[in-house]
Structure 1
């Protein structure tokens, strides 16, 4: 019996990348799909599948796929491709149906798991992209086996309506398209039309056609039609006579004073709602009053003289006329055979017409006012008007009521142009819509009897960008010119720092250098978000959301982002590109998480920031790390090397060859006086600083900070900082608790030398152990009677592999006489004591092999471990604390100071007696 396919395609996991990521240079959606039994059924084995698919989504015929030509994907369908690949293309095609220009996608099998596939595709709107993926999977299953409850037409219509709810309006989209064409970044700030253009200090905001430069007073004036008319009249501009009224009787008296015919409209209305035109007598005024009042928010109406003529909208941007459109009210023209109802249906069938502002034209609404207007023209909706007879369905020419527009930009009389520009200046709007009523815009309105009937804030662009008749006007250009004049900047420099160890310290060094230059630096790190040296958020902020927070801050003019592996895998970078990418090292840490099982895969993740470097950017790479060195092939910009190798080594020879070709590098040159950091640029060599004079290096003993200083200096040099500013920044940066909390902080407590550091993995312990050995040797030579002890408190996070924990213990035992093993407050899924047991196992193995360590103890709580270590330490000993909550640890150390112990009842055994004591669980992070 022949096996038949069943609709088994399911979505196992969904992830949204909001920036460059491991799959794409651009934002993308990843679906992990399970084909189930469909793994055995490519498309060419399912009868009718391809034909039905192309019938439902004809746009797939345009997909080139891997063939690089139109129809390439159709070829793949006929030859046979797997249904995960089909879901990818359907997700793209569905977004293209709603006008989203997305084309990038790929499908790759999940390594070692047959039937599972990673489906990756681009998106413009996150919610639309996710909905497209879900609908694509349902469609594929439906084509495999018909689902009687799956109505494709209804599903597609619901998807289109869903996309339209979150889509930008035509005005906003026109501005964004122009901004993108100029490489101006943008961020959507809410689900509506509030958008930020540019980054940091250069940021501007728009909401539809209102900008951050739009005066709130001007908007209020434009919303008050009575005040607007008074101001324009005082400037000598042609305006109709008008009065404000609140009651029906007041409206009648005002109409009698002004003289018939008159217009009644809401004082604070918009889009032509509630505007009642050509009222000939008292009865019509009374009849129109409640209609106009129903559209008024404050209950105040305007009665003004009725100006006859055509309706023109003059768009003023930054004080100059950008476009002029003639607005024709909604109407139909008889063909001699169709009723008015049928003519309206035919007009609404135009694919250019939609609901509201979703398309270039709005559907004609047949309401009571439209029926009454048709009746006033001598027809009923069921009548057949004579051929060529125009029947109006609305009195106003607003496109939102179904009207059409005719471009008249280059036909207006210069005097009318001058009047429109003066009206916008009088109201004070940077973007204004001036409504003229006059017989002909080509003739001066002062001579023909026309007038300005309204001034609008936030005017719509649709009638100008998509006129029904005439040439479209590119009016987004002057808007963007106004916000970002030619030559002005829209981006702030971004330096991204990644690596297994040293990210936070290097980021702080870079920030410190540029802060010394007067820059307002926004920095993200594992400690939080720092804006101009103020910690605004205490949390692990090394992910993409924190980066976007910095880019939205209007004070920031330079950004430094610590970029962690987890954030890249979770959401991508969260921004488009970084001007400088710094990769410090790639070492085995966090393996076994989110599909990253090897150090090579980890290098691929961290290389994302290198791939995000533009052609005019720089990648600062560690030449001493083979995996980092390979990233040079992924960089579109220039590579800046840094190395701690001595001259004459293979690495230095490679760097010298790089510089002979005009490249840049920072290296160490040893001499009798010490090590000199040297900047190499082409044939030139420039001395920067002695390593032993940099406070963060502890006289050159902290080799990891020597490397971090090289990386920070290279990044600053690549970002354009002068050498003297780099030198001054490195010389003034130290690892004291206030500049670098939790990163190699040194304090003395009762004669005990205490080092507080964040070390939490075996590679970090190698670097920290080297520093401990160098520092410990110097301490030992200063004591003649007894050798000081080295005590280490170590721990790691619970989400590491068992072997990683054992390796940490193996390495720690090489450098300490006593190892005290603790655990973090959050075990990350491990049982209490499990992590400590594995670390202790590693220590004991190393002790058996003859390591320095002579004793291993466990004190699981961090503060208990600190108390225990301090109680057994003697003056002159070296205590190294690998911290989790550094603020709580520093508070505890303060309680051991002589001043704290001098307080009533305070002792090392009872620090809680101190009224200022902060318990570990309540201590805030710095």
Structure 2
């Protein structure tokens, strides 16, 4: 593909507006995956949407109920998944991973990847080179790709869990594909130099790391007769059967998956050998519990995570750092801060490879929330009635 062709194609999608953006992910994987494979995985994802939402709510309900029980508090459930946690005169409201800590302005700042990176850089944190661009003017982004080589393309804001993220983008054609994949989620995109090493995710609360995991890209294991698509569908069925306790996200067959397979000489309709492990994404967000290992971060990693949260003014954050040498943290060549999330998921610290490694991070979070409200009078939500919504709940942590 020539540069002029790439520019015209991307500008054409921009002129097509929202309708063109919605269909662009299908164009992104054309030639990399057959239509039947795409339809099978997308059909599974569509049918599982409500089941996943229920599983997510149930998992978080158990996490908060167990934390409340250990804290000597009560939990009342209200409509739409809101939970009111009360201990004595202290009351706080939570909903899944949402809590009452950081301000809307700080949350908005952190959600903008380019603005957040600028703040991190001012704070002396090593962040990767990045550039925001619209499809109407992709030229600077193409120059960026030529200068930096292997890159990541992602939406500029408004997404999470790896939605629209494509790694290992090296060629002009793959850049166009990655832009088409990401633009469905956001009209503005970011291209950034891909960092090296394994990814560590640290949960920071009020200047301290309360949990840390090392995450690996998701994979499936061949049986000698099933295609990669078959294996993806089977792994998703396994996760659904586990009720969210093997991961709250399902594997997809988007561009990141197709490029990852291509890099291994495979495609969605390939049949891996018996016992052959196949990576099915480079982005780690859709990994299962087996892909998430609880760790004790090195002092250098912990210090970098705390500094990143402070640079953005966040009390609660997950800080993702890639580094080839964890003991050196971000000082290692090729290392840096991938991203800081201001509404971090908590379940990554419960759904880990070794059950003995579970980190009950909700306990630390709930302790802070309730202690701060012991001297502040907060009106309680009205309980609808005994035995129904609003009844006290309890349970075991996921």
TM-score by length of 1: 0.34
Asked if residue 551 in structure 1 is aligned to residue 380 in structure 2, the reply is yes
> Which residue number corresponds to residue 456 of structure 1?
341
> Which residue number corresponds to residue 180 of structure 2?
290
Partners of 1:572 and 1:279 lie apart in 2 by 54
5 Å-filtered alignment, 1:505-524, equals: none
> Which residue number corresponds to residue 475 of structure 1?
361
What is the Cα deviation at residue 337 of structure 1? 5.4
> Which residue number corresponds to residue 299 of structure 2?
414
Q: Is the 8 A contact 1:264 1:276 kept in 2?
A: yes
Q: Is the 8 A contact 1:438 1:451 kept in 2?
A: yes
> Which residue number corresponds to residue 240 of structure 1?
128
What is the Cα deviation at residue 280 of structure 1? 1.0
Aligned length: 338
Q: Deviations over 1:317-359 (max 9, x none)?
A: 2221111112222212345555434443553453xx1289833
Partners of 2:61 and 2:313 lie apart in 1 by 21
Q: Deviations over 1:414-456 (max 9, x none)?
A: 0110000111111122221111112242443312421101111
What is the Cα deviation at residue 315 of structure 1? 1.1
> Which residue number corresponds to residue 391 of structure 1?
278
Task: Decide which of 314, 317, 323 is 2:211's aligned counterpart.
Answer: 323
> Which residue number corresponds to residue 735 of structure 1?
none
> Which residue number corresponds to residue 113 of structure 2?
225
What is the Cα deviation at residue 165 of structure 1? 3.1
Q: Deviations over 1:745-779 (max 9, x none)?
A: xxxxxxxxxxxxxxxxxxxxxxxxxxxxxxxxxxx
- The alpha-carbon distance between structure 1 residues 177 and 213, as it changes in their structure 2 partners (threshold 3 A), is same
Q: Deviations over 1:33-56 (max 9, x none)?
A: xxxxxxxxxxxxxxxxxxxxxxxx
Q: CA RMSD in A?
A: 3.5
Partners of 1:287 and 1:573 lie apart in 2 by 50
Q: Deviations over 1:820-856 (max 9, x none)?
A: xxxxxxxxxxxxxxxxxxxxxxxxxxxxxxxxxxxxx
> Which residue number corresponds to residue 161 of structure 2?
271
> Which residue number corresponds to residue 311 of structure 1?
199
- The alpha-carbon distance between structure 1 residues 327 and 198, as it changes in their structure 2 partners (threshold 3 A), is same
Residue 64 of structure 2: SS of its match in structure 1?
helix
In the TM superposition, structure 1's runs of 4+ consecutive aligned residues that sit over 6 Å from their partners are: 161-164, 572-577
> Which residue number corresponds to residue 101 of structure 2?
213
- The alpha-carbon distance between structure 1 residues 358 and 347, as it changes in their structure 2 partners (threshold 3 A), is closer
Q: Is the 8 A contact 2:325 2:332 kept in 1?
A: no
Partners of 2:312 and 2:132 lie apart in 1 by 19
Q: Is the 8 A contact 1:243 1:304 kept in 2?
A: yes
Q: Is the 8 A contact 1:166 1:191 kept in 2?
A: no
> Which residue number corresponds to residue 40 of structure 2?
none
Residue 453 of structure 1: SS of its match in structure 2?
strand
What is the Cα deviation at residue 226 of structure 1? 0.5
Partners of 2:249 and 2:229 lie apart in 1 by 13
5 Å-filtered alignment, 1:177-188, equals: 177-188=66-77
Residue 484 of structure 1: SS of its match in structure 2?
helix
> Which residue number corresponds to residue 375 of structure 1?
262
- The alpha-carbon distance between structure 1 residues 240 and 358, as it changes in their structure 2 partners (threshold 3 A), is same
Residue 358 of structure 2: SS of its match in structure 1?
coil
- The alpha-carbon distance between structure 1 residues 479 and 186, as it changes in their structure 2 partners (threshold 3 A), is same
5 Å-filtered alignment, 1:664-813, equals: none
> Which residue number corresponds to residue 197 of structure 1?
85
Q: Deviations over 1:273-328 (max 9, x none)?
A: 111112113232122111111122xx111111111222221111222111111222
Q: Is the 8 A contact 2:102 2:315 kept in 1?
A: yes
Q: Is the 8 A contact 1:218 1:427 kept in 2?
A: yes
5 Å-filtered alignment, 1:493-512, equals: none
Residue 238 of structure 1: SS of its match in structure 2?
coil
Which residues of structure 2 form unaligned runs of 5+? 1-46, 393-398
Residue 178 of structure 2: SS of its match in structure 1?
helix
> Which residue number corresponds to residue 151 of structure 2?
262
Task: Decide which of 356, 370, 377 is 1:484's aligned counterpart.
Answer: 370
Partners of 1:309 and 1:242 lie apart in 2 by 18
Partners of 1:362 and 1:219 lie apart in 2 by 23
Partners of 1:163 and 1:267 lie apart in 2 by 26
Partners of 2:208 and 2:87 lie apart in 1 by 27
What is the Cα deviation at residue 382 of structure 1? 3.8
Task: Decide which of 244, 252, 256 is 2:142's aligned counterpart.
Answer: 252
Asked if residue 301 in structure 1 is aligned to residue 202 in structure 2, the reply is no
Q: Is the 8 A contact 2:301 2:330 kept in 1?
A: yes
What is the Cα deviation at residue 386 of structure 1? 4.0
Residue 79 of structure 2: SS of its match in structure 1?
coil
> Which residue number corresponds to residue 246 of structure 2?
360
Residue 263 of structure 1: SS of its match in structure 2?
strand
Residue 203 of structure 1: SS of its match in structure 2?
strand
Q: Is the 8 A contact 1:329 1:397 kept in 2?
A: yes
The answer to which structure, 1 or 2, has the higher relative contact order (CA under 8 A, 6+ apart) is: 2
TM-score by length of 2: 0.74
Asked if residue 174 in structure 1 is aligned to residue 66 in structure 2, the reply is no
Q: Is the 8 A contact 2:236 2:251 kept in 1?
A: no
Partners of 2:319 and 2:391 lie apart in 1 by 39
Q: Deviations over 1:721-752 (max 9, x none)?
A: xxxxxxxxxxxxxxxxxxxxxxxxxxxxxxxx
Q: Which has the larger radius of gyration?
A: 1
Q: Deviations over 1:228-272 (max 9, x none)?
A: 111111111111011111123342133335x11111111112110
Q: Is the 8 A contact 1:361 1:404 kept in 2?
A: no
- The alpha-carbon distance between structure 1 residues 571 and 288, as it changes in their structure 2 partners (threshold 3 A), is closer
Q: Deviations over 1:98-133 (max 9, x none)?
A: xxxxxxxxxxxxxxxxxxxxxxxxxxxxxxxxxxxx
What is the Cα deviation at residue 482 of structure 1? 0.9
What is the Cα deviation at residue 387 of structure 1? 5.0
Residue 143 of structure 2: SS of its match in structure 1?
helix
What is the Cα deviation at residue 571 of structure 1? 4.8
> Which residue number corresponds to residue 235 of structure 2?
347
- The alpha-carbon distance between structure 1 residues 207 and 423, as it changes in their structure 2 partners (threshold 3 A), is same
Q: Is the 8 A contact 1:203 1:552 kept in 2?
A: no
What is the Cα deviation at residue 169 of structure 1? 4.9
Partners of 2:352 and 2:52 lie apart in 1 by 24
- The alpha-carbon distance between structure 1 residues 404 and 449, as it changes in their structure 2 partners (threshold 3 A), is same
Residue 371 of structure 2: SS of its match in structure 1?
coil
Which residues of structure 1 form unaligned runs of 5+? 1-157, 493-519, 521-548, 554-566, 578-926
Partners of 2:292 and 2:386 lie apart in 1 by 46
Residue 178 of structure 1: SS of its match in structure 2?
helix
